[in-house]
Chain A
Amino acid sequence: MKILVCISHVPDTTSKINFTEDDTKFDTNGVQFVINPNDEFGLTRAMWFKEKQGASVDVVTVGGKDTEPTIRKALAIGADTAIRVDTEALEGFQVAKELAKVAKDGGYDLIIAGRESIDYNGGMVPGMLAKLIDANFINTCVSLEVDGDKATAVREIDGGKETLTSSLPLVIGGQKGLVEESDLKIPNMRGIMMARKKPLNVVEPVGANSQASTKKFEKPAPKGDIKMVDADNIDELIDLLHNEAKAI
């Protein structure tokens, strides 16, 4: 089985979010970048397939040279080959089109992407990619098994779960549940050394156009002061929730 894992290079979840250039660009100053958590669950599941069922695992990202440490980390975790499409990731559709070229050229059976990146939260790349390459697509995937050319997946729905089957090739939008948090691997020294020798192929972009563009970022308005209620005065809380917040 040939697996491609799409990786987004995102600020760590603890990052302070600030903007520069008149609030039009994300301020990367002092920000630690990581593999998008939703993608990392997928990568770890891909490693499981590699170990238990035999599979090759390529990872791909769309981005400049600054994203290379992030995909090197994926190699250190155990991916075989990394591909970097050498262009700035501007928006979901453009990224999906760039990935579609890599996906088609590689002839993958299974393509795993995170259900959304934790920076722009667009939630569109996996579905668009699937549609562009005419593959089946399962979103918010929390469990995935592959037997021959048939995949069985569990998808999270509002208020429950749905079990689905699909032929390959298949694209999934993955998240926690594909593997557990405790299954995530921290690269060991051997992995890091080996990753240096693994291929990281830089490919030219197809030059996909964007369909949307960020005009400006804004920070949320500062939060008003909290009202404290005495633990012995629950009636006051109920009164506030009913009459002031109109929440109950």
Chain B
Amino acid sequence: MSILVYTETENGQLKKSAFEVASYAKAVADQLGEKAVAVTINAESTNELANYGIDKVLEVKNDKLAKFSADAYAETLKNAAKQEGSKVVVLSQSANAKYLAPLLAVDLEAGYASNVTELPQTDGGFTVKRTAFTNKAFNQTSIDTDVKIIGLSNNAFGLKENKSELEKIEFEAQVSDENFGINVESIDKNTDKVSIADAEIVVSGGRGLKGPENWGMIEELAEVLGAATACSKPVSDMGWRPHAEHVGQTGKPVASNLYIAIGISGAIQHLAGVSASKTKVVINNDDEAPFFKAADYGIVGDAFEVVPKLIEKLKEFKANNA
């Protein structure tokens, strides 16, 4: 028996979210008196998993898995879970993990709970707390199957350093042509910008910015902070910014450490989508904007004056704290 965790890589390097799910898997393993076993696919090095309490890593090296395939990756994880007799499988909530999770759930006949925010309650059952209604509520969900899959919300648990003796084992993916029914024709990824899903900080602009030509300062602020850029729904609907930047209930959810909303009034759908962010800052010239009721820090002022000043001050701060 063991707790299995899929630790994802990006260009061969373990992602930060991998260490978060590893930390979580270790805590679940301790709770249940089990070992924490990680699976990596084409990772260059797995050494760092020893900083987060992982006891064993199954290292998959397979050229066929060079590009993500939900079906083949799910098949690999299924085989790993079967070999390890895993009763709990922990996944992140990256786009890829969310894609493969339901396939794996059917394969393992496992109950799957997504958007989980806390450790499970395991006295006399197995109950997890997850967000529902786009963060407007939590849902205590009992998973009633023998094998359970947990999708851990980004940034919900954090990293927990925990030194361990890491045993490394080569693992055969055992995938076949049948697992590659879908062909990846091309990947268009912005490699010099952090994605909203992976970002620690998100800088978001709304209609108050008056037009797409004014996004330069948003991008500059994001650059200074190493942040991702995002936008409100009207901004994406009007075509000022790409859909991929739309955050909110029908767009992407945001669970960053810091969310800075500039010229966004704060419609209920937007607030729900970003409410999982730990610290929220609002800059708006309308002191009645609903966002002021949902934020931690607020500035009432003209974005075109406040944001350039903020950029200058942050540059000074970064220079002094480098």
A residues with CB within 8 A of B: 11, 13-14, 17, 19, 37-38, 92-93, 96, 118-128, 130-132, 136-140, 142, 152, 155-167, 175-177, 180-182, 210-220, 223-224, 226-231, 234-235, 237-238, 240-242, 245, 247-248
- Chain B residues with CB under 8 A of A245: 258, 278-279, 296-297
A176 to B243, Cβ gap below 8 A? yes
Interchain CA distance A160-B245 in the complex, whole Å: 10
A158, A165, A241: the one contacting B197 at CB < 8 Å is A158
**Known A17-B137, A37-B250: A237·B144 in contact at CB below 8 Å:** no
B68, B278, B294: the one contacting A223 at CB < 8 Å is B294
Interchain CA distance A53-B129 in the complex, whole Å: 45
- Chain A residues with CB under 8 A of B181: 136, 166-167
Q: Give the most central of B99, B102, B310: most A CB within 10 Å.
A: B102
- Chain A residues with CB under 8 A of B68: 157, 162
- Chain A residue at smallest Cβ distance from B317: A238
B83 interface residue (CB < 8 Å to A): no
B208 interface residue (CB < 8 Å to A): no
A165 to B183, Cβ gap below 8 A? yes
17 contacts between A and B (CB under 8 A): A13-B249, A118-B134, A121-B134, A131-B106, A136-B181, A155-B95, A158-B94, A161-B188, A164-B184, A164-B185, A165-B182, A166-B183, A219-B136, A223-B294, A229-B298, A238-B314, A247-B279
- Chain A residues with CB under 8 A of B243: 142, 176-177
**Known A159-B194, A164-B184, A241-B297: A216·B95 in contact at CB below 8 Å:** no
Shortest beta-carbon distance from A21 to chain B in Å: 14
Please report the number of residue pairs spanning A and B whose Cβ atoms sit closer than 8 angstroms: 258
Within 8 A of A (CB), among B119-175: 127, 129, 131-145
B198 to A159, Cβ gap below 8 A? yes
B43 interface residue (CB < 8 Å to A): no
Interchain CA distance A127-B70 in the complex, whole Å: 10
B300 to A130, Cβ gap below 8 A? no
- Chain B residues with CB under 8 A of A160: 187-190, 195, 244
**Known A131-B107, A235-B313, A248-B201: A138·B182 in contact at CB below 8 Å:** yes
Interchain CA distance A159-B192 in the complex, whole Å: 10
Interchain CA distance A157-B189 in the complex, whole Å: 8
B35 interface residue (CB < 8 Å to A): no
- Chain A residues with CB under 8 A of B105: 93, 124, 127-128, 211
5 cross-chain pairs, A with B, having the tightest CB-CB distances, nearest first: A127-B102, A159-B195, A231-B301, A160-B189, A211-B111
Task: List 4 additional A-B contacts (Cβ < 8 Å) besides A119-B132, A160-B188, A247-B201.
Answer: A121-B133, A127-B101, A140-B98, A237-B281
- Chain A residues with CB under 8 A of B114: 121-124
A119, A167, A212, A241: the one contacting B144 at CB < 8 Å is A212
B188 to A128, Cβ gap below 8 A? no
**Known A38-B250, A162-B187: A234·B310 in contact at CB below 8 Å:** yes
Shortest beta-carbon distance from A141 to chain B in Å: 10
B131 to A164, Cβ gap below 8 A? no
Interchain CA distance A123-B292 in the complex, whole Å: 31
A130, A166, A182, A227: the one contacting B103 at CB < 8 Å is A130
**Known A17-B133, A123-B114, A237-B299: A157·B142 in contact at CB below 8 Å:** no
Shortest beta-carbon distance from A244 to chain B in Å: 9
- Chain B residue at smallest Cβ distance from A114: B250
**Known A157-B96, A231-B301: A218·B187 in contact at CB below 8 Å:** no
B193 interface residue (CB < 8 Å to A): yes
B225 interface residue (CB < 8 Å to A): yes
Interchain CA distance A247-B185 in the complex, whole Å: 39
B217 interface residue (CB < 8 Å to A): no
Interchain CA distance A164-B180 in the complex, whole Å: 11
- Chain A residue at smallest Cβ distance from B294: A223
